[in-house]
Structure 1
Amino acid sequence: MVWIPSGSCELGPVDGFWVDACPVTNQEFAAFTRETGYCPVACREAGQIQWRYPEGWDDHPVTDVSWVDAVAYAAWAGKALPTEAEWACAAHDALACDTGGAQPGGTRPVATGSPNGYGLYDVFGGVREWTADWHPIGGPVPLKVVKGGTRTGQPQPVHGHAGNIGFRCVVRTG
């Protein structure tokens, strides 16, 4: 994990916090599902009883997980999802979008590009990432904020999942 000091960014002030240097990987998420028996939303929708990922993709970011799945993993790991402001403050130094090595329509192993000034990898150019925040767009489904990736993230339904959305976690000290 990487320490992000207290400060202010475009979305307001934040207290200092720890954040994962990389998005959560398939291998890390697999440990969670094995230990807990958790079956992500996408698996349940597909009628599967066990979560799997492509062979050889241990160190790729986990994707196709819903916000609910990400929160469940974070709780298991003793962490949380970052707020939109925390994510923005941690990412503020990521000026370049390094998409090198990603397969068309796919991902690449985490930490294969250069880190930002804080030491975070894959802030931009990788997967979009869930945050703890939501935007009341209207309608019956709450929409959660996703950030990063190769473009600005649009809010997504809580139970929604996509092959380009993953997450990283934070630990707050206060």
Structure 2
Amino acid sequence: MTSDPASAAPASVGTACCAPAGTATGTTGRSPHPAEAVPQGARSTRGQVRIPAGSFAMGDSHGDGYLGDGETPVHQVELSAYLIDAKAVTNAQFAAFVKATGYVTDAERDGLSAVFHLAVEAGPADVLGPVAGTPWWRAVRGADWRHPGGPRSSTTDLQNHPVVHVSWRDAQAYCRWAGKRLPTEAEWERAARGGLDRARYPWGDELHPKGRWRCNIWQGRFPEVNTLEDGHLTTAPVTAYQPNAFGLHNTVGNVWEWCQDTFRPTEYADRAAAGDPVLDPLAPEGDVAPGEEGGVPRVMRGGSYLCHDSYCNRYRVAARSSNTAESSAGNIGFRCANDAG
């Protein structure tokens, strides 16, 4: 696949299966951000698995990606050993962070976030309408990590589900408190592959081996009919599916996961032009004015419960996407990493 149906969307809108960038979370450039006041926690490796040092072929080896996402050329990347969470951060874990620090997320500060139209749980007055360019998203007043569908929803029965409606800045704050960090994009892909170099998915090249669902993505006719063959309209528990060979759960589908890197469509081409295998890459920040970090696009990986081959096949381990650092939605979460030292 070489073109993206969402490519004609307005510049202010994120990729179609992601959150609408900057739309549901107000303005960028707010400073200071409460993340700056979050205390630095002692280094913690709890819940993490060790990924040994080594090299892998990073990028789309099958020609499945969208040209604008910059999934090619495939290039060799060498990584030092590191640690990464076996699962995405859960609602219960994020609640513990908020209780300990009093942290307020971007969505809570702005008073609204993006909710998929079939998942809205809010009164008519709180549904501010479809988001331009992605009409299956609704800007919902009162939608946040505690209320993923809107003010009439809660996480009471979702404690082991991934936290959502968290921005890149919120994820950074949690990592700081937990004594961890976000993974780089290269770290995320190597870990997600589970040692299967050049494979489409964490388990191989076939989406449904032996007729079984191995990830939480859309079934049916997007965006109106989900047949729920995997049992989930939105998020699934963070350990709902069999882990990959490295012990990581749900690295494709379920929720998009923030990475540390800024997003550059030419990043892979620039690396390949350098020739030799790249060691521990991290896309450069670029020129960012103080207080304007929110507008910088950040890498997201893994796809979500909304991905479907009819318009967005980003549930592959090579797939890339991005959103601005202050953006949030009901299908964006994260997992943490750490140096191995």
Q: TM-score, normalised by structure 2?
A: 0.47
How far does residue 51 in structure 1 lie from its aligned partner after superposition?
A: 5.8
> Secondary structure of the residue that 1:3 maps to in structure 2?
strand
Of the three residues 103, 125, 137, the one matched with 1:38 is 103
Alignment of 1:1-174 (within 5 A): 1-11=48-58, 12-46=77-111, 52-53=146-147, 54=154, 55-93=156-194, 94-95=202-203, 96=207, 97-99=214-216, 101=230, 103-104=232-233, 106-136=234-264, 141-150=295-304, 151=314, 152-174=319-341
How far does residue 68 in structure 1 lie from its aligned partner after superposition?
A: 0.1
Structure 1, gaps ≥5 residues long: none
Does the C-alpha gap of structure 1 residues 119 and 79 become closer, same or farther in structure 2, counting only changes over 3 Å?
same
The one-character-per-residue Cα deviations of 1:53-107 (angstroms, maximum 9, x if unpaired) are: 4221100000110000000000000000000000011011313552264532x10
> Equivalents in 2 of 1:61, 1:51: separation in Å?
10
Counterpart residue number, 2:71: none
> Could you tell me which amino acid in structure 2 is paired with residue 3 of structure 1?
R
More deviation, 86-95/144-153: 144-153
> Secondary structure of the residue that 1:43 maps to in structure 2?
helix
Does the C-alpha gap of structure 1 residues 34 and 102 become closer, same or farther in structure 2, counting only changes over 3 Å?
farther
> Secondary structure of the residue that 2:83 maps to in structure 1?
strand
> Equivalents in 2 of 1:101, 1:63: separation in Å?
20
Does the C-alpha gap of structure 1 residues 122 and 143 become closer, same or farther in structure 2, counting only changes over 3 Å?
same
How far does residue 173 in structure 1 lie from its aligned partner after superposition?
A: 2.4
The 8 Å contact of residues 9 and 85 in structure 1, kept in 2 or not, is answered as no
> How big is the alpha-carbon RMSD for the aligned residues of Structure 1 and Structure 2?
2.3
> Secondary structure of the residue that 1:88 maps to in structure 2?
helix
The 8 Å contact of residues 50 and 340 in structure 2, kept in 1 or not, is answered as no
> Could you tell me which amino acid in structure 1 is paired with residue 232 of structure 2?
Q
Instruction: Say how many residue pairs are matched.
Output: 172
> Could you tell me which amino acid in structure 2 is paired with residue 173 of structure 1?
A
How far does residue 153 in structure 1 lie from its aligned partner after superposition?
A: 4.1
> Could you tell me which amino acid in structure 2 is paired with residue 169 of structure 1?
C
The 8 Å contact of residues 136 and 142 in structure 1, kept in 2 or not, is answered as no
The 8 Å contact of residues 6 and 16 in structure 1, kept in 2 or not, is answered as yes
The 8 Å contact of residues 257 and 300 in structure 2, kept in 1 or not, is answered as yes
> Could you tell me which amino acid in structure 2 is paired with residue 37 of structure 1?
G
How far does residue 154 in structure 1 lie from its aligned partner after superposition?
A: 1.6
Choose 1 or 2 for highest CA Rg: 2
> Equivalents in 2 of 1:111, 1:62: separation in Å?
13
